[in-house]
Amino acid sequence: MVPLDILYINLNSIEEGLQLTIEGRQSGTLFCPSDADVNGEAQYQMVEGFTYDYEFSDPRFHFTKSKIVHPHLRRKNFGSVSPNIYVGTLEIPVFKEGEEVSQSVTFEVRSVKATYRDDYRDMLELITENCTDLLMHANSPVVQNFEPDFANDTQTLYQRFVFVKSIIANDEFSEAIHRIVSSPVTQWKEKLEQKDIHNIRRFNNSHIKQLVTGTNRFKISDDHFLRNYGLSSLPDKIISGRKIDSVDTPENRFVKFALETFVSFCSDIITKSKPESRLYNESSQLEKKLESFLQHSMFRKISHPELLKLNSPILQRKEGYREILRVWLMFDLAAKLVWKGGDDVYKGGKKDIATLYEYWLFFRLLNLFKGIFNIEPKDISELIKETSDGLNLQLKQGRHTALCGTYITNSRRLKIRFNYNRTFSGHADYPKSGSWTTRMRPDYTLSIWPDGISETEAELEELIVHIHFDAKYKVGNLAYLLEEKSDEELVEEKKDAQQGIYKNGDLLKMHAYKDAIRRTGGAYVLYPGSKTCNRTGFHEIIPGLGAFPIHPSKTDDGINELKSFILAVIEHFSNRASQREKIAYRVFDIYRKKPLKEDEIKEPLPEPYGSNRNLIPDDTFVLVGFYMKDKLDWILRKGLYNVRAGSNRGSLRLGPKEAGAKFLLLHSHGETKTGLILRIIEAGPRIFSKKDLVKLGYPVKNKNEVLDESSGRYYLVYKIEPVAEVELINQIWDITKLNGYRSGSGSGLPFAVTLAELMRARIK
């Protein structure tokens, strides 16, 4: 097929001598292939995404303005055609001086992908197979009334036809017929024929009866031994049977019946479609192909079936026959099926491969997740239900359907949910699910959360993870994901963005899903390419962004890489100490309460960097302790502060706050305002006996007091040093404003507060 730069189309059927010239602005984007009829396509072909200039030779003729046709403002017989992103038949009406003529100009808009014809057939076949398999399932809500009625719904005729065509007009079907005619099932049959009586070698009862009753007889001699049996003559010929190998078997009759049924279907479609339309041409082409099968000499020897023996082991097991049986079982269902999402693909004769790819991926992902998680798609039965216009496949943009169930790993039970076109509502207040900006609708969403709680509860407790996938049939390469951009490329990208051109739009969309939809663990492009990209946000497999190549194919569609990714995600969920689990809890813990005005801190605090990186005011604790004035010098000189341990009054009850305190605020008798703050430099206190303290020079009035059991023998000792943070030096705090402070005799009891609470008690 040689690409062209200019097409010259003769329109003599409209007006003698009228010619339409089409010129591509990009060289080599026009075609006039010889196999257009075979593929049910228009003869003159252009490529999606390009612009073409046209000119009528007669200025009285013109196209009218539309989304894809742009006539010249003054010379209407000139203009341009931009088919945009759709592929398929493009029918443009022709006008003469403002009046539409009876004939249009038809173009075929080809996809930029060289394999789009095969992609189209493969995707349709998988969709049809999944739909009809669902209908044939024992639990399906529709199990009868499969007779198609074409007269009642001509609008859906084309999509009904392509469903049927996808299961008949493919290589597997042709190969099945070839296997049958090459090695048909045969059976021995007795063929009756008249034979000369002298040529009969072995007589049976039928022959003996004919010796008496046969006609055209001749006399036998008087000494013939049969005279003893009362016979005076014998027939010249008798009817005798012989065994022959016949192809007229019940199984072959079924195959012929199936082919004739398919031909009849095509004939019905032809009578209901407009002449020379895409539907008319494609059904005529399929009819010819089926009739060529029936012209084989084998089928001339086969009679019509009186009974269909569908339980025949040959039909169910033998190669060739089992494929025809499967197609025939699918045929009635496919002929009846109406796809409410089909208008997105077939309306106006177009073949929107990109949209079809999105639907195809739904079934491919459904089968993948069904296999990985061993979950039967119970909810999928809602996809197909009986309606007034036929069996309705409810796969339409904006409606989500789901696979949902429990997956059991070695260490935990997980709830799995797979959604198509799930809508995440916008402006939802935290902690509700959804997007915090605007409504978003990824093509596919896989949600995972622990078993034992509902999805709503999992959202509220930050226990659910959503992984989004978007189908991108048009993506040619993933340079914007795989390669680092240069400064020049970034400048060029900015210029394009100012003109509304976003080369990295798919990447931006993935970021939008990841950043706007709450509890999203990753967002990934699925495209029919060859390169995989999986960028992780931190150290674990999620959160992340990337792309996986999945292309329509019956042998290797590349989905194994995505399968490996999903298995790695499940393995990640088995790790109960993952960073993602920790982050999820921190987010839940931090955001579960709305901050109050009185909780604000606008006081000077050390900046959280270096050794103070973990200085979060609400998570940093200050131990408020009492000291005797005669012991202050020893405390500051030795860098040790002790509080009593034990059960007696005045002892420190050691809890997480007290053990993890980072600062120490000291006060003495009658002192409610203090600025004596020190840093605790060890992770928790050590236990000292009183003897240990005395050895360190701890001031006591009487050395014998050391042996006094009643005065407390053990102490919790904190190692301290002066604070270095200038924000805490020369500050005064009112300890009476702190929770835990007791007046009177209890004022010396130690207690712990957060740094945030302490700063709110600062005296300004």
- Tokens at 357, concatenated: 């790819």
Q: Retrieve residue 646's tokens.
A: 């034990």
How much is the pLDDT for 229? 73
The residue behind tokens 């022709």 is: 94
CA gyration radius for the chain? 43
pLDDT for residue 480 is more than 90: no
pLDDT value at residue 757: 94
The whole-number pLDDT of residue 4 equals: 82
* 146-150, 272-276, 700-704 — most confident range: 272-276
pLDDT score, position 149: 44
Q: Are 14 and 94 in contact (CB under 8 A)?
A: yes
| Residue 396, pLDDT above cutoff 60 | no
| CA–CA separation, 123 and 421 (whole Å) | 19
In-domain check, residue 481: yes
Q: What is the pLDDT of residues 398-445, one digit of tens each?
A: 456 678 899 998 889 999 999 888 889 988 889 999 999 999 999 999
Q: How confident is the model at residue 138 (pLDDT cuts 50, 70, 90)?
A: very low
**Residue 5 pLDDT grade (very low, low, confident, very high; cuts 50, 70, 90):** confident
Checking if the pLDDT of 198 tops 80, the result is no
Same domain (yes/no): 634, 493: no
The total of structural domains in the chain comes to 5
Q: What is the mean pLDDT of the chain?
A: 82
Query: How confident is residue 671, by pLDDT bands cut at 50, 70 and 90?
Result: very high
Q: How confident is the model at residue 358 (pLDDT cuts 50, 70, 90)?
A: confident
Cβ-proximal residues to 347 (8 Å cutoff; 6+ apart), any chain: none
Residue 621 is predicted with a pLDDT of: 96
The token duo for 680 is 């605790």
Q: Residues near 625 by Cβ (< 8 Å), separated by ≥ 6?
A: 641, 643, 664, 665, 666, 667, 750
| 225-233: average pLDDT | 76
Q: What is the pLDDT of residue 23?
A: 94
pLDDT at residue 145, as a whole number? 34
| pLDDT score of 8 | 93
Listed range (26-40, 124-138, 338-352) with the worst mean pLDDT: 338-352
User: How sure is the predictor about 134, in pLDDT bands with cuts at 50, 70 and 90?
Assistant: low
What is the DSSP pairing of strand 44-47 with strand 99-110? Answer: parallel
Task: Let me know: does 15 contact 40? Beta carbons within 8 Å.
Answer: no
Banded pLDDT at 166 (limits 50, 70, 90): confident
* pLDDT score, position 271: 86
Cβ burial of 217 (10 Å; 0-12, 13-18, 19+) is middle
355 Cβ neighbours under 8 A, 6+ residues apart:
344, 345
Check whether residue 644 and residue 728 sit in a common domain: yes
Q: How confident is the model at residue 16 (pLDDT cuts 50, 70, 90)?
A: very high
Measured CA to CA, the distance from residue 452 to residue 447 in angstroms comes to 15
Side-chain half-sphere exposure of 15, counting CA atoms within 13 A? 14
Measured between alpha carbons, how far is 450 from 571 in angstroms, rounded to an integer?
Answer: 14
Q: Identify whether 11 is part of a domain.
A: yes
Assess if residue 368 is contained within a domain.
no
Q: Do 492 and 578 fall into the same domain?
A: yes
**Cβ contacts of residue 255 below 8 Å, gap of 6+?**
177, 180, 321, 324
pLDDT at residue 30 greater than cutoff 70: yes
Task: Tell me the C-alpha to C-alpha distance, in Å, between residue 490 and each of 138, 477, 691.
Answer: 57, 18, 72
Q: Determine the Cα–Cα distance for residues 473 and 362; give it in Å rounded to an integer.
A: 13
Mean pLDDT across 535-556 = 88
Residue 505 or 28, more confident? 28
Query: What is the number of alpha carbons within 13 Å of residue 240 lying toward its C-beta?
Result: 19
Read off the tokens for 231.
């016979």
Question: 60 and 127 in one domain?
Answer: no
- Distance of CA 395 to CAs 14, 503, 732, Å? 42, 30, 69
Domain-embedded: residue 382: no
**Tens digits of residue pLDDT in 727-760:** 999 999 999 999 989 888 888 899 999 999 999 9
8 Å CB contact between 71 and 63: yes
Is 494 part of a structural domain of the chain? yes
CA distance 74 to 496: 31
Helix count and strand count (H, E) for the chain: 21, 34
Instruction: Give the mean pLDDT of 306-327.
Output: 84
Residue 96 scores a pLDDT above 50: yes
The domain spanning residue 66 has which CATH number? 2.60.40
- 3-state SS class at 11: coil
In single-letter form, the type of residue at position 503 comes to K
Which of 250, 243, 235 has its CA nearest to residue 308?
A: 250
Query: Where does the pLDDT of residue 139 fall: very low under 50, low under 70, confident under 90, or very high at 90 and above?
Result: very low
Is 607 in the same domain as 574? Answer: no
Q: Do 691 and 755 lie in a common domain? A: yes
Residue that terminates a domain, selected from 90, 110, 130: 110
CA neighbor of 621 nearest in space, from 501, 750, 499: 750
pLDDT at 667 over 90: yes
CA distance 150 to 156: 9
Those residues whose C-beta lies under 8 Å from the C-beta of residue 357, and which sit 6 or more positions away, are 119, 123, 471, 473, 528, 552
**DSSP letters of 437-470?**
SS-B--SEEEEEEETTS-HHHHHHTT--EEEEEE
Query: Minimal CA–CA distance to 527: which of 470, 468, 567, 481?
Result: 470
Residue 531: which pLDDT band, with cuts at 50, 70 and 90? confident
Q: Is the pLDDT of residue 277 over 90?
A: no
pLDDT the model gives residue 70: 93
Of the pLDDT bands very low, low, confident and very high (cuts 50, 70, 90), residue 141 is very low
> Is the separation of the CB atoms in 369 and 401 below 8 Å?
no
Nearest Cα to 331, choosing from 257, 252, 250, 253? 257
Give the model's pLDDT for residue 348.
45
Q: Which residue has the higher pLDDT, 236 or 154?
A: 236
| DSSP class per residue in 89-125 | EEEEEEEETTEEEEEEEEEEEE-SSTTHHHHHHHHHH
Q: What is the pLDDT of residues 483-508, one digit of tens each?
A: 666 667 666 666 655 555 555 677 78
Indicate if 98 and 147 belong to the same structural domain. Answer: no
- pTM: predicted TM-score of the whole model, two decimal places: 0.70
Using the 3D structure, point to which of 558, 586, 614 is the last residue of a domain: 586
Q: Pick the range with the lowest mean pLDDT from 104-118, 560-574, 598-612.
A: 104-118
Q: In this structure, what token pair is assigned to residue 471?
A: 């189908």
pLDDT digits (tens, 9 = 90+) for 237-252: 877 766 677 888 889 9
Is residue 305 domain-shared with residue 159, that is, in the same domain? Answer: yes
Predicted confidence at residue 352, as pLDDT, reads 62
- DSSP lists the bridge partners of residue 55 as 21, 78
Is it the case that residue 604 has pLDDT exceeding 50? yes
Question: Is it the case that residue 94 has pLDDT exceeding 70?
Answer: yes
Among residues of the chain, what percentage have pLDDT more than 90?
38
Q: What is the DSSP letter of 275?
A: T
Q: How far is CA 577 from the centre of its chain?
A: 29
Confidence of residue 203 (pLDDT cuts 50, 70, 90): confident
Instruction: Report how far Cα 724 is from the mean position of its chain's Cα atoms.
Output: 56
**Mean pLDDT value across residues 539-553:** 90
**Domain final residue pick, 586, 611, 634:** 586
Confidence of residue 395 (pLDDT cuts 50, 70, 90): low
φ, ψ of residue 613 to 5 degrees: the values are: -60, -30
Indicate whether 392 belongs to any domain.
Answer: no
> Would you say residue 385 lies in a domain?
no
**Mean pLDDT across the stretch 248-276?**
87
pLDDT at 110 over 50: yes
Most confident listed range (55-64, 208-217, 375-384, 390-399): 55-64
Query: Any idea what the Cα angle at residue 754 is, between residues 752 and 756, rounded to 5°?
Result: 150
Q: Is the pLDDT at 144 greater than 60, yes or no?
A: no
Q: Do 261 and 405 belong to one domain?
A: no
Which of 501-536 are b and which e, b meaning 16 or more Cβ less than 10 Å from the residue's Cβ? Answer: eeebebbebbebbbebbbbbbbbbbbbbbeebbbee
Residue 387 within any structural domain of the chain: no
Domain limits for position 727: 599-760
Same domain for 521 and 658?
Answer: no
Do residues 160 and 239 both lie within one domain?
Answer: no
List residues bridging with 417 in a β-sheet.
Answer: 404, 447
236 and 101 in a common domain: no
Sequence-distant (≥ 6) Cβ neighbours of residue 284 within 8 angstroms = 266, 270
